[in-house]
Amino acid sequence: MSALAKCILLFFLNLADANLTLLWVRAGAATEGNGLMARLLEMGNAPFLLVKVLVGAFSAYVLYRFSRYKVARNGLTLVLGLYVALMVVHAATGLSALGWHEPEKFIAYLSNLPNNILALFT
């Protein structure tokens, strides 16, 4: 996949994240974990969306602009991986909001997995 395609995907994942965050927060199913973004949400949907989209667009542009450098390509891959994981969290939140609570148990298991793996070596 080209750097341009990855950056476009990054932008649209960021946009999906913003809209899903608004949906879950306004529905009372979740809270915003980022303090700055939570403050913007208190101001309203428009300030939150504006900042979220601008930051996402700027990040995608910078990563594309410098995609000839390995650090930018690796960063882009890392960020896309994080956004894919975040979409799993959004899906679990949605399923939980609809009354199916098994995803919460799965997310709790996954979140404890790194600590359990590290405990094997201590």
Separation of CA 43 from chain center: 21
Q: Please give the residue that has the higher pLDDT: either 101 or 28.
A: 28
Question: Where does residue 105 rank: exposed (0-12), middle (13-18), buried (19+ CB within 10 A)?
Answer: exposed
**Which pLDDT band, with edges at 50, 70 and 90, does 67 fall under?**
very high
Most confident of 21-35, 58-72, 94-108: 58-72
**Sign of the C-alpha dihedral, residues 42, 46, 49, 52?**
negative
Global pTM reads 0.77
88 or 122, which is more confident: 88
CB 60 within 8 A of CB 7: yes
